[in-house]
Amino acid sequence: MKIMPCPLNGPRNINEFVYGGEVSELPDVATAPDSDWAEHTFYAYNGTGIAREWWYHVASGYWFVAERHRVTDEIIRTYDPAVLAEEKAQ
Partner 1 sequence: MKDSRASLPLQVEWADREAARSGNYRRQSGLSRRPTASMASVVGVVDHEDRQRAARAGVIDLTMVPHTGYRGTAAADWLAAQGYPLPLVPNQASTSANGDRILRLSMREFWLLGSLDDLGQTITTLPTRMTDTPANCYPLFCGDSHAWLLLTGEHIADVMAKLCAVDLREAQFPEGSIAQTSVARVGAIVVRQQVNGLPAFAILCDVNSSDYMWTVLVDAVQEFDGGPIGIDCLRSGND
User: To the nearest 10°, the Cα dihedral for 61, 25, 46, 78?
Assistant: -40
* φ, ψ for residue 36, nearest 5 deg: -65, -40
The amino acid sitting at 52 is R
Please identify, using beta-carbon distances, which residue of 32 and 59 lies nearer to partner 1. 59
The candidate with the shortest Cα–Cα distance to 11, out of 63, 72, 78, is 78
Report 28-47 residues binding partner 1 (CB under 8 A).
none
Minimum gap (Å) between residue 64 Cβ and partner 1: 11
Q: Does 62 bind partner 1 (CB under 8 A)?
A: yes
Q: Does 57 bind partner 1 (CB under 8 A)?
A: yes
Partners of residue 68 on adjacent β-strands: 51, 75
Q: Does 60 bind partner 1 (CB under 8 A)?
A: yes
Q: Does 83 bind partner 1 (CB under 8 A)?
A: no
Interface residues with partner 1 (CB under 8 A) are 1, 8-9, 12-13, 15-16, 57-60, 62
